[in-house]
Amino acid sequence: MQWRGWSSPTLQGGATVAEELSRWVTQYSWLILSIFVPLVALLVFVYIVGFIIDKLRMRGVISRSVEQRFKAFIYTIALIIFIVHITSTIYANNVTLSIAFVVALILFALYAVRYFIENLFSYFVVVLSGIVREGEHVMVRINNDVVSGVVVSIDELYTVVSSQHNVYVFIPNTALLKSVVMRPRAASIAFKITFYGLESASVEDVMRFIEDAIASSRLINRSSVNIRLVEARGSSVTVLAEAEVLNPRNVEESYLEVMNILRQRLRPYKVKIEVVSERERYAA
On the question of pLDDT at 5 being above 60, the answer is no
The pLDDT confidence band at residue 6, using thresholds 50, 70 and 90, is: very low
Q: Which of 161-165, 200-204, 275-279 has the highest mean pLDDT?
A: 161-165
Nearest-angstrom CA–CA distance, 72 and 66: 10
Considering the domain architecture, whether residues 22 and 97 belong to the same structural domain is answered as yes
Considering the domain architecture, whether residues 136 and 221 belong to the same structural domain is answered as no
Residue 79 structural domain: 17-112
pLDDT tens digits, one per residue of 100-147: 666 776 777 677 667 777 777 787 788 777 788 777 778 888 888 888
User: How many domains is the chain partitioned into structurally?
Assistant: 3
**Looking at residue 260, what is its pLDDT?**
92
Q: What mean pLDDT do residues 87-105 have? A: 64
Considering the domain architecture, whether residues 169 and 232 belong to the same structural domain is answered as no
Considering the domain architecture, whether residues 193 and 178 belong to the same structural domain is answered as no
Its pTM stands at 0.39
Is residue 86 domain-resident?
yes
Report the CATH number at residue 193: 3.30.70.600
**Which of the pair, 118 or 69, is modelled with greater confidence?**
118
pLDDT tens digits, one per residue of 209-262: 899 999 999 888 888 899 988 888 877 888 999 998 877 777 888 889 999 999
On the question of pLDDT at 159 being above 80, the answer is yes
Q: Which of 42-46, 56-60, 97-101, 182-186 has the highest mean pLDDT?
A: 42-46
Q: What is the mean pLDDT of the chain?
A: 76
Q: What mean pLDDT do residues 39-67 have? A: 77
The pLDDT confidence band at residue 189, using thresholds 50, 70 and 90, is: confident
The pLDDT confidence band at residue 27, using thresholds 50, 70 and 90, is: low
Report the CATH number at residue 144: 2.30.30.600
Considering the domain architecture, whether residues 21 and 107 belong to the same structural domain is answered as yes
Nearest-angstrom CA–CA distance, 192 and 194: 7
Q: Burial level of 237, CB count in 10 A (0-12/13-18/19+)?
A: buried
Considering the domain architecture, whether residues 192 and 279 belong to the same structural domain is answered as yes
C-beta separation of 221 from 207 below 8 A: no
Q: Which DSSP category does 277 fall into?
A: P
* Strand order across the beta sheet in which 158-162 lies: 168-172, 158-162, 145-154, 137-142, 180-182
**Looking at residue 102, what is its pLDDT?**
65
